[in-house]
Structure 1
Amino acid sequence: MVKKSILVVMTSLYNGGAERSLVNLLNEFDTENYEIDLMVFVREGMFESQIPPKINFLNTPSEIQALYTPKLVKMHFKEKIVRLVGTGIAKIFSKTYSERGAKRWKWFYKNIVAENQKKYDVALAFLNDDVMYYIVDKVCADKKIAWVHNDYKKNELDKDIDLPYFRKLDYVATISDECVNILKEVFVEFPEKFICIPNITSSQVIKNRSEEFYPEEYRGKRNILLSIGRLGYQKGFDIAIEAATLLLKRGIDFKWYIIGDGEWEEKLNTLIKEKQLEQNLFLLGIKSNPYPYIKNCDVFVQTSRYEGKSVVIDEAKILAKPIVITNYPTVHDQIQNNEGMIVDITAEGISEGIIMMLEQKEIYNKFLSHIDYGNTQDIMKLYNIIEH
Structure 2
Amino acid sequence: MKKKILIVNKSFELGGIQHALVNMLKALQLINNNIQIDLLIFNNDDVCKNQIPVDIKILKPSLLVKTMGMSFSRVLETKNIIQIIFKILSTAWSKVFGNSLPISIAFLFQKKLKVHYDYAVAYHHETNKKTMVSGFVRFILKKCDSDVKMGWIHSDFVATGLGTKQNRKIYSQLDKIICVSKATKTSFLSLFPELESKCDYCYNYLPVDEIRKKSLSESISFGCDEGVVFFSACRFVAEKGIERTIMAMLPLWKEGLKFKWYIAGNGIEYAKIEHLIHNYNIHDKVILLGYKENPYPYMKAADWFLLSSYHETFSMVAAESMIVGTPVLATDLPVVRELIDENSGYICHNSVEGIKDAIKDIVSQKKSIKVQLRENLVNSKGQFERIFQ
State the TM-score, normalized to the length of structure 2: 0.88
1:73–1:66: structure 2 CA closer, same or farther, 3 Å change rule?
A: farther
**Aligned-pair distance for 1:252?**
1.6
Of residues 283, 286, 291, the one that matches 2:288 is 283
1:329–1:374: structure 2 CA closer, same or farther, 3 Å change rule?
A: closer
Task: Return the alpha-carbon distance in structure 1 between the equivalents of residues 354 and 308 of structure 2.
Answer: 10
In structure 2, what residue type is equivalent to 1:92? V
1:35 equivalent in alignment to 2:32: no
Check whether the contact 1:5–1:121 (CA below 8 A) recurs between aligned residues.
yes
Check whether the contact 2:222–2:301 (CA below 8 A) recurs between aligned residues.
no
Task: Return the alpha-carbon distance in structure 1 between the equivalents of residues 246 and 296 of structure 2.
Answer: 23
Greater mean deviation of Cα atoms: 196-205 or 272-281? 272-281
**Aligned-pair distance for 1:358?**
3.8
In structure 2, what residue type is equivalent to 1:122? Y
Task: Return the alpha-carbon distance in structure 2 between the equivalents of residues 73 and 271 of structure 1.
Answer: 32
CA deviation vs aligned residue, 1:112-144 (integer Å, no higher than 9, x gap): 333222221111111113222211221111111
CA deviation vs aligned residue, 1:47-77 (integer Å, no higher than 9, x gap): 2222112322233444433554535757474
Check whether the contact 1:318–1:373 (CA below 8 A) recurs between aligned residues.
no
1:73–1:312: structure 2 CA closer, same or farther, 3 Å change rule?
A: same
Task: Return the alpha-carbon distance in structure 2 between the equivalents of residues 254 and 13 of structure 1.
Answer: 35
Aligned equivalent of 2:13: 14
1:92 equivalent in alignment to 2:93: no
Aligned equivalent of 1:131: 136
- Residues 281-320 of structure 1: matches in 2 within 5 Å? 281-320=286-325
**Aligned-pair distance for 1:222?**
4.0
Aligned equivalent of 1:112: 109
Check whether the contact 2:65–2:107 (CA below 8 A) recurs between aligned residues.
no
Greater mean deviation of Cα atoms: 276-285 or 54-63? 54-63
Aligned equivalent of 1:162: 167
Greater mean deviation of Cα atoms: 167-176 or 273-282? 273-282
1:25 equivalent in alignment to 2:29: no
SS in structure 1 of the partner of residue 388 of structure 2: helix
SS in structure 2 of the partner of residue 29 of structure 1: helix
Gaps of 5+ in 1: 94-99
- Residues 112-261 of structure 1: matches in 2 within 5 Å? 112-129=109-126, 130-215=135-220, 221-261=226-266
Of residues 381, 384, 387, the one that matches 2:383 is 381
- Residues 46-65 of structure 1: matches in 2 within 5 Å? 46-65=47-66
In structure 1, what residue type is equivalent to 2:57? N
Aligned equivalent of 2:129: none
**Aligned-pair distance for 1:229?**
1.5
1:232–1:275: structure 2 CA closer, same or farther, 3 Å change rule?
A: same
**Aligned-pair distance for 1:103?**
3.6
In structure 1, what residue type is equivalent to 2:305? F
Identical positions, percent: 27
**Aligned-pair distance for 1:82?**
2.9
Report the aligned-residue RMSD: 2.4
1:345–1:302: structure 2 CA closer, same or farther, 3 Å change rule?
A: same
SS in structure 2 of the partner of residue 11 of structure 1: strand
Check whether the contact 2:258–2:363 (CA below 8 A) recurs between aligned residues.
no
**Aligned-pair distance for 1:386?**
2.7
Greater mean deviation of Cα atoms: 60-69 or 207-216? 60-69
Check whether the contact 1:41–1:64 (CA below 8 A) recurs between aligned residues.
yes
Check whether the contact 2:43–2:67 (CA below 8 A) recurs between aligned residues.
no
Aligned equivalent of 1:97: none
Gaps of 5+ in 2: 127-134
Check whether the contact 2:248–2:353 (CA below 8 A) recurs between aligned residues.
yes
1:206–1:358: structure 2 CA closer, same or farther, 3 Å change rule?
A: farther
Task: Return the alpha-carbon distance in structure 2 between the equivalents of residues 59 and 107 of structure 1.
Answer: 18
Greater mean deviation of Cα atoms: 213-222 or 227-236? 213-222
1:50–1:216: structure 2 CA closer, same or farther, 3 Å change rule?
A: farther
